[in-house]
Every structure is written in structure tokens, then in C-alpha cells.
Amino acid sequence: FDQRKAEVILESKRWGKLSLGKGFTASYGSGAVDLSKTSVISYATIADLAGSMLFRERDSGDFTDIRIFNAFNSFDGLSRQNRLRYDTANFGGFRLAASAITDDRYDAALRWGGQGYGLKAAGAAAIANPKFDDTDLQYNGSFSLLHQNTGLNATLAFGLLDRTDQGDQQNYFAKVGWLKRFFSVGDTAFSLDYTRSLNLPTDDDDGFSIAAAAAQQFDKYGAELFALYRLHSLDRDIEPKVEDISVVSIGTRVKF
């Protein structure tokens, strides 16, 4: 077993927050800003749902060694690491964060959120030095906009890993959604999204994914029901060609 989070935090409304230990780095989450309320099951890091599933060869049906997470990567920061992280206080909706991470790694992120004129918006952008072999810096960001009267919303995200041994690995995510309170128990959310990956896992691979998702909130119980269908497709200029992977998911989440 390994600890998920173990940290000590000093926090001040005026001076910000200092975190020491294992926890989220400054860049983590900057690629997943999402106001659609379907992010419980559909967000930019699509490989979180079924990332270990293997693609099959198109001709023989045999499993390859290529998994969904090899073909789709949102490059959403450096996840949970042992680090020293500092977050500034909120200045006009802006917050800046930076981390010094073990193995001489580092990252930084800028986040923003605000509302007005019937709109709610949030966004983030980050840069990180992951110290992977044959790589330079990693960049990612996301932006989400919600029209509060109609519930219509849109989300965009991108990620890029600058590689020295092949073309830069890139990921682009776009989502449109609709949020409506049909029932007194809570909001109902629907969304459609599209993901495009380039040079993953090699220069000879490009992938795309489409998905439809729905989520029903139950405010009194801190719960939600969700369902999703997602198609993963990997186009290869080398052998073996692979079949698409379809994933159907239904479930519930309870927060307490």
C-alpha cells in the first residue's frame, strides 16, 4: 500500500497556502476545469475511466500491448507527488501556484474564476518539467463557460508534451453541455465531447474519442447518478491496425 495524500498545510486568507508532503502538485487539475456537472464521468482525462483496456488487432482479434492510456493522455499536470507547494491568495479571481517536487522537478499554474452578465467562467493554464526521458516541458490548460439562465455550457482543454525523440504528443478536448433542473431533487446534466490525440503512443498513431454523458444530482444526499457511452479509436500508419473500443458506464457517487 502507498499513501494517497499525507501533507501538512499552513493557510492564511491574506498570504495564501503552503503545503508540504505528498499531495497534488500545482499543475494538477489545470487541464480539467469543467462547469458542465457531468465531470463525474466525462472530462478531459478520458483514460481515467478504462485506461488499462487493451486494443485488439483488427485482423486476428488478438490483444496488442497498446492500452487506452497509451493512446489518450491529457497531460494534466504531475498528479500527486512529494512536494513543497505554495498557492497565493485570491486576487480578483486569480490564483497562482508553484511546486518544488522530488527528483528536481517543478511546475506552476495560474487559475481564474468569475461570473457576471449571466455567465459563469473558470480556467487554468500550467507548465511543468516532468523530467521524463527524451522530453522537455509539459503544457496544459482548460477553460469552461456556463450560461446560467439556459444552462448551456462549453469546455475546452489541451495538453502537450514536448518530446525530443519524436513529434510532440498532443491532446485536445472539447465538450458542449446542457444543465437543467427538471426535478426538485437537483440538476440534470447532459454533455457531448470529442477528444483528439496526436503522436500517441508514437509518431505513427493518432486517436479520437467521442462520448455522450448524463448525470442527475440529488442535492439533499450529496449524491449523483451518471451514465456514459464512449468510443475510442486509434488510427495507425504501422501494423498492427487495431479495432475500436466502446465503453458503457453507469454508476453513482456520494460525497460526505
Per-residue confidence at 68, pLDDT binned at 50, 70, 90?
Answer: very high
**1 falls in which pLDDT band (50, 70, 90)?**
low
Residue 256's pLDDT band (boundaries 50, 70, 90)? Answer: confident
User: What gap in Å lies between CA 18 and CA 22, rounded to an integer?
Assistant: 13
Task: Answer for the pair 230, 46: CB distance below 8 angstroms, yes or no.
Answer: yes
Strand duo 80-87 + 94-101: pairing = antiparallel
Which pLDDT value is given to residue 116?
94
Q: pLDDT averaged over the chain?
A: 95
What's the pLDDT band for 37 if we cut at 50, 70, 90? very high
- Under a CB-based contact definition with an 8 Å cutoff, are residues 178 and 187 in contact? no
pLDDT reading at 39 higher than 70: yes
Angle at Cα 236 formed by Cα 234 and Cα 241, nearest 5°?
85
Q: What's the pLDDT at 3?
A: 85
Rounded Cα–Cα distance for residues 188 and 178 (Å):
8
Helix (H, G, I), strand (E, B) or coil at 70: helix
pTM for the predicted model, two decimal places: 0.93
Residues 14-26 pLDDT 10s: 999 999 999 999 9
Give how far the C-alpha of residue 68 lies from the chain's centroid of Cα atoms, to the nearest Å. 15
End-to-end CA distance of the chain: 24
| pLDDT surpasses 80 at 126 | yes
Report the C-alpha gap between 210 and 162 in whole angstroms.
25
Place of cell 444543465: 179
The pLDDT of residue 223 is 96
pLDDT band, residue 11 (cuts 50/70/90): very high
Task: Locate 100 and state its grid cell.
Answer: 518544488
Question: What's the average model confidence in pLDDT over 191-200?
Answer: 97
Alpha-carbon span 161 to 29, nearest angstrom = 16
Cα dihedral 178, 247, 43, 40 in deg (nearest 10): 80
SS (H, E, C) 25-67: CCCCCCCCCCCCCCCCCCCCCCHHHHCCCEEEECCCCCEEEEE
Q: Which among 80, 43, 40, 48 is positioned nearest to 67, based on CA atoms?
A: 48
Beta-carbon-side half-sphere exposure of residue 230 (alpha carbons within 13 Å): 27
Q: What percent of the chain is predicted at pLDDT more than 90?
A: 95
pLDDT tens digit sequence for 70-100: 999 999 999 999 999 999 999 999 999 999 9
- Give the H/E segment covering residue 87: strand 80-87
